[in-house]
A and B are shown apart, each in its own frame.
Chain A
Amino acid sequence: MEIRSIKTPGFIKSLFIALLTLSVSFESKAEDINIVTTNTILADITSEVTGKHAVIYSLVGYDEEVHAFNPKPSDLKKLKEADIIIANGKNLEGWLSRIDDKNKIVEASKGIKSIKKDGYEDPHGWNSPYNANIYIDNIAYAACAKIPAYCNEFKDNANKYKQTFNELTIKYKQLYDALPQENKKAITAHDAFGYLARDFEITFIPIKGVNEETEISAQILAQIIKQIRESGIKVIFIENISNTHFAEQLTKETSATIGGELISDSLSKKNSVDTYYKMVDYNLKTVYEAFSSAK
């Protein structure tokens, strides 16, 4: 706006424009922030926390493979335009080390008590509701840092959201504690449920390791079959993102049956498990039902 002296005719016009702008800015929000998340689970948590104040985009979509993701040029563009990048961390997104703007990255799993396997940290923290609180807090903290204006709202949302998970945890912990220990074991497609196993005292034996990509060998498959036969495992869980041939082969060779499809690394359109809360609830319910109906 040009600076004019009070006496010039343009002053009234300028004053009018200034008043107009001021009144408009009282009503509008601070600009929405642009958040990019690496998967749909994080996107869902973020949208619960930030409500309508953020535009969220998830790089990996519903029912898609998280471990083997490789960003396309359009993804890199979105990462550049983002104000915050929410990633899981613990090496789930190995490709993130190659991008610029690393200071925009928020590690959602920071602070969980991690499980170490063969020198790797298990990244699948989100699968246990006990860790949900930490994820929610990390994301709320990052959102607050970016737009302090709405921090109270974010904290409110986060607390309400955390409460739902606390209730879920209490409900299921009771149910699981009531099951006999020898019922609480199963095979899973890949090593995605380590934290669930630890927190609910279940034994999960994965077919593929922490990383979905590793090719299986006859020795591993034979070992799993042997283990199922010897320890009397009755339940096998398949997953929404992996192929089911292994599981089918296992059911043919042992007396175990498929106890259901779990949602492991990605929210799913298939079973309408399209929010993080629904996913954890669905997994806990499916596993519980399979365990209690076996034998």
Chain B
Amino acid sequence: MYEILIQPFVEYGFMFKSLLGCVLISLCAPMLGLFLILKKMSLTGDAISHAILPGVAIGYAVAGLSVTIMTLGGFIAGSLVIVLSGFVSRYTKKGEDSALAVFYLISLALGILIISLNGSNIDLLSILFGSLLTINDECLILLSSITLITIVTMLVIRRPFIIDCIDPDFLIHNDINGHHYHIIFMILVVLNLIAGFQTIGTLMAVGLLILPAAIIRLWLNNIVLSCLISPLIVIISCYCGLIASFYYNYPTTPIIILALGLLYLISVFLGTNGGILWKYVRLKHLDS
């Protein structure tokens, strides 16, 4: 058993590093996902992950496959899109989601344009699907920094931020600008999406935020417990992805997301906090 399940990570450094990268992301991404779901912004997260592409593309054009520069570029692009769509929606009063959709599409198109103008040299696949298997030390340092920043920031702003999510008027009455906390939160989301793009690629980076959160929501109502347990969901899925890639030659990224998807489907039926099965079981009980 040990040989099949643990040995690969001991024998091959890259397997261990990949798993470590996944663990680092798993500590903070689902927590942000929980709040995205709470604020009904799950697909917004998806839009933003596509928005970071031109930043990464410019970073690549400037400095090649340098993790730091591409991260910086992606961060600037993502933050710019969020701020711009915030401004536009506030001043034209036409809704943040349509503004965001426009800006993320502009951003994505720019990214593709820059990539194609730069000649057919870019390793596009690794940007779209991540390069989990070849995570290097620079990347791991980046991931740990992002994890640390996210956890500390969320701990610091948790009270006003949560109130802003549920009852923004309360903050207004108390002369506190809740919108600031919203912006801080969105910046954390961008940071985590950038971390996600290194491991799993821009296409599915948001999956590491939203899917585990959606899964845990079907089992627990307590947010603290959810934040503590959801990392395990991500770690299990990433582990499955790495093992499947190791033994069956599958690419890692889709397996990770499919594993999460499968857990979600199971939770939809069996989840203790709203799973479909329990509705029927309870009904029968009430009948008699």
Interface residues of A (CB under 8 A from B): 60-61, 63-65, 68-70, 72, 213, 215-222, 225, 241-246, 248-249, 252-253
State the Cβ distance, A174 to closest chain B Cβ, in Å.
Answer: 36
With A215-B251, A245-B131 in contact, do A64 and B121 touch (Cβ < 8 Å)?
Answer: yes
Q: Does B252 contact A (CB under 8 A)?
A: yes
Partner of A218, one of B65, B119, B245: B245
**Given the complex of chains A and B, what is the CA–CA distance between A252 and B13 in angstroms?**
8
- Do B136 and A222 touch across chains, with their CB atoms under 8 A apart? no
110-167 of chain B: CB within 8 A of chain A: 116, 119-121, 123-126, 129, 131, 133-134, 136
- Do A241 and B246 touch across chains, with their CB atoms under 8 A apart? no
With A64-B120, A65-B120 in contact, do A218 and B252 touch (Cβ < 8 Å)?
Answer: yes
Q: How many residue pairs at the A-B interface have CB separations less than 8 Å?
A: 76
B219: chain A residues within 8 A (beta carbon): none
State the Cβ distance, A118 to closest chain B Cβ, in Å.
Answer: 14
Chain A to chain B contacts (Cβ below 8 Å), 30 pairs: A60-B120, A61-B119, A63-B119, A63-B121, A64-B119, A64-B120, A64-B121, A68-B120, A68-B124, A217-B133, A217-B245, A217-B249, A217-B251, A217-B252, A218-B15, A218-B18, A218-B133, A221-B133, A222-B11, A222-B14, A222-B15, A225-B12, A225-B14, A241-B121, A242-B123, A243-B65, A245-B131, A245-B136, A248-B134, A248-B136
Interface string of B190-212 (1 = CB under 8 A from A): 00000000000000000000000
A249: chain B residues within 8 A (beta carbon): 13-14, 133-134, 136
Residue from A61, A63, A65 having most chain B Cβ neighbours under 10 A? A65
Q: Does B242 contact A (CB under 8 A)?
A: yes
**Given the complex of chains A and B, what is the CA–CA distance between A68 and B125 in angstroms?**
11
Q: Does B91 contact A (CB under 8 A)?
A: no
**Given the complex of chains A and B, what is the CA–CA distance between A213 and B120 in angstroms?**
12
A241: chain B residues within 8 A (beta carbon): 121
B14: chain A residues within 8 A (beta carbon): 218, 221-222, 225, 249, 253
Q: Does B274 contact A (CB under 8 A)?
A: no
For residue A246, which residue of chain B has the nearest CB? B134
- Do B120 and A70 touch across chains, with their CB atoms under 8 A apart? yes
- Do B126 and A219 touch across chains, with their CB atoms under 8 A apart? no
Q: Does B87 contact A (CB under 8 A)?
A: no
Partner of A215, one of B8, B65, B129, B246: B129
- Do B133 and A216 touch across chains, with their CB atoms under 8 A apart? yes
- Do B13 and A215 touch across chains, with their CB atoms under 8 A apart? no
Partner of A243, one of B120, B123, B249, B250: B123
**Given the complex of chains A and B, what is the CA–CA distance between A46 and B8 in angstroms?**
50
For residue A216, which residue of chain B has the nearest CB? B133
**Given the complex of chains A and B, what is the CA–CA distance between A221 and B121 in angstroms?**
23
A213: chain B residues within 8 A (beta carbon): 125
Q: Does B2 contact A (CB under 8 A)?
A: no
1-23 of chain B: CB within 8 A of chain A: 8, 11-15, 18
With A225-B12, A245-B65, A252-B13 in contact, do A219 and B121 touch (Cβ < 8 Å)?
Answer: no
Q: Does B247 contact A (CB under 8 A)?
A: yes
For residue A61, which residue of chain B has the nearest CB? B119
For residue A70, which residue of chain B has the nearest CB? B120
**Given the complex of chains A and B, what is the CA–CA distance between A245 and B136 in angstroms?**
8
State the Cβ distance, A5 to closest chain B Cβ, in Å.
Answer: 63
State the Cβ distance, A37 to closest chain B Cβ, in Å.
Answer: 15
